[in-house]
Structure formats: C-alpha cells, structure tokens
Structure 1
Amino acid sequence: MGSGMGAYGGAVRPVESAAGETMLLWGLGQPTAHRNNALVRQAAHSFELDACGRRLSLLQSPSSMSTPGVTGAVVWDSGVVLAKFLEHAVDSQQLLLRDARAVDLGSGCGLVGCVAALLGAHVVLTDLPDRLKLLRKNVSLNVDDPHVPGSARVTELVWGDDPHHELVREPLPDFVLGSDVIYNEEAVDDLLVTLNQLSGQHTTILLAGELRNDAVLECFLEAAMEDFLIACIEQDQWHPEFCSNRVALFILVKKPERASTD
C-alpha cells in the first residue's frame, strides 16, 4: 500500500495492470455474490441520507428508469459510497475540500456534488441536457442555504465534446468526481477525453464505480493508464457504514508531463 496520491493523504494501492486489477476486484471481492442497490431505494420518489450534519433529501424519478439509457434518475450505491467517503476523508483530515474547485461528472440526482459543496467545495455538477431539471431541483433543495460553506451550480456537459469554457479555464479544477461513470465500452473514450480536458497537474480525480462488467472496467483502466497514474482506495479507508463489495473506488492523477525531446 502506498500512502497518499494527489490531494488525498490516505492509503492507496497502486494499479499496476488493468487485467490484474480487474481480476483482483472480481476474484477477491466476488461482487456478484453481494446484493446490489444495498444502500439505496430506487423505487422511492426520494432518497434520504444523513451527511455533513444534515439530512439530505434527493428527488428521484423511478419511472424514467424504463427509458433506455437513462440511469441518472435515481441514486446508485456508488454515489452513496463516494459521497460518504468524501465526508469521512474530510473528517479524518485525509482530504481538504474547503474552497477547492470541483467538477462532478454524470451527476444524476446530484448526491456527490451536493455533499462536496456541504464540505466546502465550489462544485459544478454536470450531466446531459435532459437530466438537468431534476439535478437543479436537488441542488436547490439541499445546497441553496447561506450556511453551506461551499457552493453548487449545474451545467450541461456531454463527454467528448468541448466543455463550457468556464469548466476548463485556468486553473483547472482541483477535483473531478464521478460515480458510476464507467458503464459501457462505447463511453470510455469520450469519458477519457473529458477527464483529460478537465484535469491539470494538480487535479485529483475520484471515481466510484459499480462492478457490473469486468470487460468495461478493464477497458477503461487500460486506456486511462496512458495518461494517468491510477490507484485503488480500499474499503478500510471508506466510511465504515457505507461499504459494498459491488463498488470500487479509484483515484487518478495525470502523469507528469514528459519534457519534450525535440
């Protein structure tokens, strides 16, 4: 185990190979043997979670889950794991989010971005245009409050397209956050284009993913290792009450820029 990576001071396990990491997660963790959606209630019209000394209430739209490709209308386990990990890491002083600039990718119902704002970050929550209405509603319900130390706003972002200039102005974000953003091989290239656009040498990327498909994860890790150093944050570093063998948590930082050999 290594100690720390990017802005995170806790223990991490470097990912040496995409295939090896995938084998480890499926072989040791046996994700398919564990109950999925153990931390969420996707049939309910709202999802409640205690975080940062308050009760968050996020509206969900279970009925739109029947629309092909729509997954951001409800909260998933990986979002809960990442949100509570952020809170736990800040509480244990392994992470400092106050006044940090963060972009949340594929925000869905907005849980991760809202918690980051409650922890003091200035967060831009992003998703596809047709997902923004629910997202805006949840941000205003949970973060529009003068006592919140950070801030949150919502903007559209289609992975692989040029992001809004505000997202990529210097300095680039301190953090890029994402839960359940690695879900099919077609989206991997666009996701990596966006991760590259949003991250500089001082950016820390935290991605939590549901372990559904080993081929997709291996494909993502393989491609990401071209540009990023990657490590896994294991469950003993997570919030002790919010763990799941069906979720993996990765931290990525850009590889140092190689000096030109011209």
Structure 2
Amino acid sequence: MMTETTELGIEDDGENSTAVMGSYGSAVWPVYDAAAEILVLWAINQPSMRKHNFFVRQSSHSLSIDACGHLLSILQSPSSMGTPGVTGAVMWDSGVVLAKFMEHAVDCKRLVLMGKNVVELGSGCGLVGCVAALLGAHVILTDLHDRLKLLKKNVDVNVGVLGNARGSARVMELTWGDDLSTEFVAPLPDFVVGSDVIYSEDAVTDLLQTLSQLSGSHTTIFLAGELRNDAVLECFLEAALGEFQIGHIDQTQWHPEFRSHRVIIAASPKLEKLVLKELLNCKVPA
C-alpha cells in the first residue's frame, strides 16, 4: 500500500519511496545519508572505468551542439587550461548533460522555464545559461571577473544575435560567499543552475552560502557535476543536507542521447522553506 507525506509529496511502497519536490514535475528519490549515497553512486556508475569527456573536445576552440532548434557554437579557450585554478575556459560533460536535460524536461512538460528567472553559478562557457534563455527564461549568467570575457562572447553569439530567443541572458560577476546585490535577489530566482561547481572542499561553504542567499520558497536548484572525487561530493552532500531536501532523479528522465556514467545532477529547495535539490544520475546510452 502506498502512503503519502503531504509536506514533501512522498509516496511509499513499503521498500522504496519517491517524492515530488520543487518545480520539477516528476518523482525523485529522496537522499537522506551522504555516505550511503556516495557508495551507491560509485558502485553503480564506476566512473573511473568510464570514458572521460564523452560529449566534449577540450582541445578544440569551439563546441557545436544542437539545442532548442538551433546549432549552438560554444567558444572555448584551451590554452587557458594551463593556468592554475581555471576550469571554466572549456566545456565539461556535466554542462552538456545538464543543458540537454533541461531541454528534454521542458519538451516532456516536466519543467517550465518560459518567463522564469534563472541564475547560473560558475557559468564558464555558458552553455547551460544560453539553453535556459532559449527555453524562455530570463537568465543571469555569473562567474569570476577573469572568466567574463569568454562568457559574454558565447552569450552574444548564441543568444544575442539570434533575435528570436524567447528569453533573455545577461552576464554578471559573482563571487560565492559574497553578499548579493539586488539584481540577484529582488526578486529571488525561480531556478538556480550550475555545472561542475562542486570541485573543492574549500569552496563548499561559500557555494552553499550563495545557494542559500539565492533560495526562496519557490526556488528550485539544479546542479550537475563530474564524479571525480568522492570525498568532495560527500562533503557537499553532508553540508547541504542540513539545509536542503535532496532527491535522486531516475536516469530514465534524462535526454536519451546525453547520459554519462561519470556525471550526476542535483536539484533542490531549503528544508524550512521547501526549496528543492534533486540528485540526477546519468548513464551512457547503449
């Protein structure tokens, strides 16, 4: 027999439970324990045995990808990868997976981005934010000051010059952990998105502070990342579970052509305000 918990929309079949959380219109699997989730992710996906950079070519100066009825051209700067601490100069699989997940979720009517306010954290080359704008959202793409030049080029090339984008995109500087200006919080965004933003234990506190500042009672967060370091991801999950409700989205809900054993995606709301964080698991198509 299935029972329902009203606050989270949880259905329990006796062995497993799913929940409808935030603005994502399909059931997710709640995550309660960080260490247990890490064991499951690494056991099932075995990321060290999977192909790295399945969807991207980081040695190329651009990445072409079909999205939202357009052929997008995402400019990259491979030479910048030699600079310590610089990761946003090229695309990673997690960004491609998250962008195509959003497009697929909109097409399947699990997600509505038309007219919504979106903030992208750690935008890098900006594919995720550009796709969100093409899906009708009003997007603020953010990164550190020295990453903005390439980001602005990609927004201009892929959103600004199309003229028929249903949404809008603008680029702003943002350092995690800093107090946010009114452009970010008045009003608070409907969605916060980010790919490959969970990469360092040192950055977890600042990242969560910014996520908390951006989150209201209606905010849904989607995060995607490479399965590289289990300690870093466990550190993030442990800290996030104190403030956010985290759930796992089944792989069958991903874009069928853009899945990877090396990538996870997360989405979520605050516990006290029921904002949403869901953990999304992707798998390579056969």
In the superposition, the TM-score normalised over structure 2's length comes to: 0.88
Letter in 1 for 2:163: P
Identify the residue that residue 52 of structure 1 maps to in structure 2: 68
1:11 to partner: Cα distance: 2.7
CA contact (8 A) 1:110 1:125 kept: yes
Q: Aligned partners of 1:240 and 1:77: how far apart in 2?
A: 15
CA contact (8 A) 1:72 1:131 kept: yes
1:256 to partner: Cα distance: 2.4
1:257 to partner: Cα distance: 4.3
CA contact (8 A) 1:159 1:193 kept: yes
Q: Aligned partners of 1:239 and 1:128: how far apart in 2?
A: 30
Identify the residue that residue 152 of structure 1 maps to in structure 2: 169
Structure with higher RCO (Cα < 8 A, 6+ apart): 1
Letter in 2 for 1:153: R
Residue correspondence of structure 1 range 76-155 to structure 2 within 5 A = 76-144=92-160, 145-155=162-172
CA contact (8 A) 1:106 1:126 kept: yes
After superposition, the CA RMSD in angstroms is 1.1
Q: Aligned partners of 1:164 and 1:209: how far apart in 2?
A: 27
Instruction: Answer yes or no: is 1:11 the counterpart of 2:50.
Output: no
Letter in 1 for 2:84: P
Q: Could you report, residue by residue, the CA deviation over 1:89-121 in whole angstroms, capped at 9, with x for unpaired residues?
A: 000000000000000000000000000000000
Structure 2: segments with no counterpart, 5+ residues: 1-16, 275-286
Deviates more, 1:124-133 or 1:21-30: 21-30
Q: Could you report, residue by residue, the CA deviation over 1:118-174 in whole angstroms, capped at 9, with x for unpaired residues?
A: 0000000000000000000000000013210000000000000112221012x3100
Could you list the runs of 4 or more consecutive aligned residues of structure 1 that deviate by over 4 angstroms after TM superposition? none
Identity of aligned residues (%): 65
Structure 1: segments with no counterpart, 5+ residues: none
Q: Aligned partners of 1:24 and 1:257: how far apart in 2?
A: 28
CA contact (8 A) 1:234 1:249 kept: no
Q: Aligned partners of 2:50 and 2:222: how far apart in 1?
A: 23
Letter in 1 for 2:182: H
Q: Aligned partners of 2:65 and 2:114: how far apart in 1?
A: 21
CA contact (8 A) 1:113 1:123 kept: yes
Identify the residue that residue 89 of structure 2 maps to in structure 1: 73
CA contact (8 A) 2:56 2:92 kept: yes
DSSP 3-state at the match of 1:228: coil
Letter in 1 for 2:145: P
Q: 1:188 aligns with which of 204, 224, 235?
A: 204
1:12 to partner: Cα distance: 1.2
CA contact (8 A) 2:155 2:170 kept: yes
Q: Aligned partners of 2:184 and 2:213: how far apart in 1?
A: 9
Q: Aligned partners of 2:107 and 2:97: how far apart in 1?
A: 15
Q: Aligned partners of 1:195 and 1:4: how far apart in 2?
A: 21
Q: Aligned partners of 2:212 and 2:127: how far apart in 1?
A: 24
Q: Could you report, residue by residue, the CA deviation over 1:227-248 in whole angstroms, capped at 9, with x for unpaired residues?
A: 1001122321110000001001
